[in-house]
Amino acid sequence: AKDYELRQYETAKWVSTVIRGETQKEAMRQGFWKLFHYIQGKNEKEMKIDMTVPVTCLVKSGCADFKISFFVPFEHQDSPPLPTDTDVFVEERKAAAIFVRSFGGFASPEKYAEEAEVLAKHLRNRGQPFHEDFFYTAGYDSPFKLFNRHNEVWYFRK
């Protein structure tokens, strides 16, 4: 559809952390640095791992916990080094069909929520069943990139 796309993602590993009781913006900041330290060598192999995109944040309705995640690069998917920080973990996300809405600019938590609501409205109008109790934000750019930024919101198809 012109307002969104439906993507099929394969099973993959992500390195994640959950930040509790903070604003989404602060959770993203704290979570990013925990995960960044992991890829910089704070893992059992003291291995540096390339930064990947997107950086995702799981947002659940009425919940003040945010799960921030980095995609594990393809060359480490089979056996990512285990984190040494007890707040960081490797998770396997199962294959899924995901509705995606893309937008540009600098994305704030408010902008992500607004775009998620627009996507939800389009999906409801088209009778597309999706998990409405959570969505993911996906950011693809460094904070230093000023133009042609790419952000997404994701809802999982039921």
73, with CB counted inside 10 A (0-12, 13-18, 19+), is middle
Write out the two tokens for 158.
């039921």
Instruction: Give the three-class secondary structure for 16.
Output: strand
Query: Would you state the pLDDT for residue 143?
Result: 84
Which long-range CB contacts under 8 A does 101-104 form with residues at least 24 apart?
101/3, 101/4, 101/152, 101/153, 102/5, 102/150, 102/151, 102/152, 103/151, 103/152, 104/148, 104/149, 104/150, 104/151
The mean pLDDT value for 6-19 works out to 98
Local confidence band at 156 (pLDDT 50, 70, 90 cut-offs): very high
Is the distance from CB of 103 to CB of 113 less than 8 angstroms? Answer: no
The mean pLDDT value for 32-52 works out to 97
Per residue in 48-102, pLDDT tens? 999 999 999 999 998 999 999 999 999 999 999 999 999 999 999 999 999 999 9
Separation CA 10–CA 34 (nearest Å)? 25
Query: Would you state the pLDDT for residue 1?
Result: 82
List, in sequence order, every beta strand (DSSP E) within 3-95: 5-9, 12-20, 55-60, 65-71, 88-93
Write out the two tokens for 31.
């979570």
Which domains, and CATH codes, for the chain? 5-156 (3.20.80.10)
Note the pTM of the prediction, 2 decimals: 0.96
Per residue in 114-145, pLDDT tens? 999 999 999 999 999 999 999 999 999 988 89
Separation CA 151–CA 103 (nearest Å)? 5
